[in-house]
Structure 1
Amino acid sequence: MLFNHISNALEQRLAALPNAPPVYYDNQSPATPPSGAFFMAKNLPKPTVIDTFDATEIYSGIFSINIYTPAGTGRAMAENYADELHSFFFNKRFDGLHTSTVSCSQGMLTATHYVINVSVSYRAFTE
């Protein structure tokens, strides 16, 4: 399994989230942030580990999704998206990946948006 395959699988899964706002990935950040809600997502892989007993390669990492909602509208919209992401990714198997824990950070206010980060842990195994 290659890093590109893992990133593509995670991005395709996120793109399938019903009623999701626009999603921007690594190297696709908008020049001007949209005024409404949007996601920014990136794959943060950990070093590949080889289990010496059976030569299984273990790929793991964090899929990081920043949820941006308009400033001044409260935290409910961002937290609702975080809840949807939790339900969509927690303990799921797809495209050779297994996602396990999903965590949510404390919100942060910028001049234009309220931001929450959702982190999805994943693992994949090959022989």
Structure 2
Amino acid sequence: MTTNDYQKFIQKSPTQRLTRQILALFPNSKVTQPMSQYALGNSTAINEKSYQQISSMKDMQRFLNTPNTLTNTQRLARIRKILKNHGYTGNKLNDQYEIGIVIRNFNLKHPYDTNDLLQGLVIAKK
């Protein structure tokens, strides 16, 4: 899947409502498919040296990949809180970032999960 294909999927899929809400917090940023693969733990998806900063926020990954029964509204509130704890507030949200995001439309992990990351959010600055 190309970045354009992935962006179209996020824009059009009813399963990506929470993803769109998260991305709306970063109005001047763009999501890319390679960075989204990186968010899932694929360290070879990007050249890390070409970025000034990559924020993968372990507490964010832990939250996204812990079974829960929260609504999307509650999940968004928790994500905002984690972002705030990492300094992503006010003007910093308006900076230009490359975002990697994979949010699936489920609240509980599949019972046969192999402990691979199934969801992720990474914020990078070139």
Structure 2 length-normalised TM: 0.31
Choose between structure 1 and 2: higher strand proportion: 1
Structure 1 length-normalised TM: 0.31
Choose between structure 1 and 2: higher helix proportion: 2
The structure with the larger Rg is: 1
